[in-house]
Amino acid sequence: MKKQHTFKANGRIWIDGPDGAFLGYGRVELLEKIHELGSIRKAALAMKMSYRQAWEFVQQMNQVLKKPLVVANTGGKGGGQAVLTEEGLKAVEQFREFNGAFQEFLASYSKELTFKPSSK
Amino acid sequence: MKKQHTFKANGRIWIDGPDGAFLGYGRVELLEKIHELGSIRKAALAMKMSYRQAWEFVQQMNQVLKKPLVVANTGGKGGGQAVLTEEGLKAVEQFREFNGAFQEFLASYSKELTFKPSSK
DNA sequence: TACCGTTATTCAAAAAAAAGCATAATGAAA
DNA sequence: TTTCATTATGCTTTTTTTTGAATAACGGTA
């Protein structure tokens, strides 16, 4: 019989920049969706985030690095569009690596937990 | 010249039990203060948490393990008191170890970040 | 030039989370 | 038996966080 872990080590990570939050799960997912859909609005809709918040995230992220992570154009065919830059792609990749290592860390630590649950 | 890291890997961890959140920073600090001060109310005051929330945390934690982490007595000299059990002490210790390893993980990952800040 | 859907922005509304207040119960000690 | 500060609990208020509505600007394209 395999032991089941009713207790689990859990957590969240993010990357802070010079002025606070830079990259986290929400922002990275947003970047991925923008890359996939070519639009901030569609990306926000796809992940059930308000456009308001999505737009603010993009603004904030773009101010942190020398080069923007997202370039958005207003007007034109379709009303406008947004594309992920080289820097944006790198940022996504680095965060994913970081998170991969973190998930392994959590999994290994979960095995060391020795708490005994009340009854269920 | 020493390189300064304007970007930092950051995060938070916690331990989930069978029914959700079990131990996190706030709860562990609360347990430590209870151990130190012998009172839920004083512990809450010391960390500027409302007694209401502190009390609820204790209730929740006590329902998770077979044995309670905190034993609280009402009435008597001083109106009552609360003491940390063996299980409570172990829980604090395990979380602190977990967090120690996590902080090392974050520190080592921070060194690998290669983002270039905008100007400052 | 008129149209289109998105970007960009403000401001009010709603939802969620936390805090604060009030009060009963408790039981050792004086 | 009176006192005392705390535990225990419900309920209201406040604060914080999110969301939603409303609107101007934009510029390729037909």
Tens digit of pLDDT for each residue in A95-104? 999 999 999 9
CB within 8 Å: B7 and A22: yes
Is A10 within the bounds of a domain?
no
Residue A53, CB, less than 7 Å from strand D?
Answer: yes
Is A6 within the bounds of a domain?
no
Q: Which chain B residue shows the shortest CA-CA distance from A6?
A: B18
- The tokens describing B41, both together, are 């109310």
- The tokens describing B34, both together, are 């209870």
Is B118 within the bounds of a domain?
no
CATH of the domain at A103: 1.10.10.10
> Structurally, how many domains does chain B consist of?
1
Q: For chain A, list residues whose CB is within 8 angstroms of any CB belonging to chain B.
A: 6-18, 22, 63-66, 91, 94, 98, 101-102, 105-106, 109, 113-120
Is A108 within the bounds of a domain?
yes
Is A40 within the bounds of a domain?
yes
C-alpha angle A54-A60-A66 in degrees, rounded to nearest 5? 130
For testing contact with chain A, the best of B98, B115, B116, B119 (most A CBs within 10 A): B115
For testing contact with chain A, the best of B31, B60, B96, B98 (most A CBs within 10 A): B98
Nearby residues of A87 by Cβ (< 8 Å), 6 or more positions away = A65, A67, A68, A69
Is B120 within the bounds of a domain?
no
B89 and B35 Cβ atoms separated by less than 8 Å: yes
- What's the pTM value of the predicted model, to 2 decimals? 0.91
CA distance B28 to B26: 6
Chain B environment of A13 (Cβ under 8 Å): 9-11, 106
CA distance B52 to B41: 9
Average pLDDT in the A51-71 region? 94
Is A92 within the bounds of a domain?
yes
pLDDT at B2: 67
B18 phi-psi bin (left φ>0, alpha ψ -120 to 50, beta other): alpha
CA distance A68 to A88: 7
Q: Which chain B residue shows the shortest CA-CA distance from A11?
A: B13
Residue A54 structural domain: 23-112
Instruction: Tell me the pLDDT of chain B (120 aa) as tens digits.
Output: 766 679 999 999 999 999 889 999 999 999 999 999 999 999 999 999 999 999 999 999 999 999 999 999 998 888 899 999 999 999 999 999 999 999 999 999 999 999 999 875
Q: For chain B, list residues whose CB is within 8 angstroms of any CB belonging to chain A.
A: 6-18, 22, 63-66, 91, 94, 98, 101-102, 105-106, 109, 113-120
What's the half-sphere exposure (Cβ side, CA atoms, 13 Å) at A72?
A: 18
B77 phi-psi bin (left φ>0, alpha ψ -120 to 50, beta other): beta
Question: If we measure between CA atoms, which residue out of B15, B38, B39, B20 comes closest to residue B91?
Answer: B15
CA distance B76 to B116: 62
Is B5 within the bounds of a domain?
no
